[in-house]
Amino acid sequence: MIGDAGSYRETRILPATERRLALADTIFVLNGPNLNLLGLREPEIYGTDTLDDIAGMLEDRARELGLEIEMRQSNHEGHLIDWLHEAQAVGARAVLLNAGGFTHASIALHDAIKSIRTPVIEVHLSNPLAREAFRHISYVGRAAKGTVAGFGANSYILALEAAARL
């Protein structure tokens, strides 16, 4: 997983055409602010699984589906935007995006999603519509192909299964 803190994977840089072929069966999984604290932060809302736990579950399910995942996390909006652009540039099959608090505030993420052809599936551990009123607005959801929310860590698996069918 690539992120602001935690574990990092070495990545070999491939020529552009080779990258497109290599990543055609890759799903980018992008995670926004505070998701590096999963397992510690409000477990009654977000559960006890860490982001690394979710990455492991996704890798196992992706392998069963003949896919690979590229898991990343950042607390910085610009990184998420750059990674959305990268997903398009390298020919990723889809993006699963849990934008965290940026979901409800980032027109820049909305515009980045609209600017790429790669399908984006919005993911949330909790159900934002069952929470505070300010969470009922999703700029990400307005641009995404679909949304999976409210199923805890399983939201990511359900979104991955949807992406596999695109």
Q: Are 59 and 96 in contact (CB under 8 A)?
A: no
Catalytic residue from among 46, 110, 139, 156: 46
- Residue carrying structure tokens 């909006």: 77
104 in catalytic set: no
List of residues 6+ apart from 157 with CB closer than 8 A: 57, 58, 61
124 in catalytic set: yes
Residue 159 has, within 13 A of its CA and on its CB side, a CA count of 34
Q: Tell me the H-state helices in 24-166.
A: 43-46, 51-64, 77-90, 107-114, 139-143, 154-164
Catalytic residue from among 8, 85, 110, 124: 124
Residue 152 region, left (φ>0) first, then alpha (ψ -120 to 50), else beta?
left
3-class DSSP state of 73: strand
Residues acting as catalytic residues: 46, 124
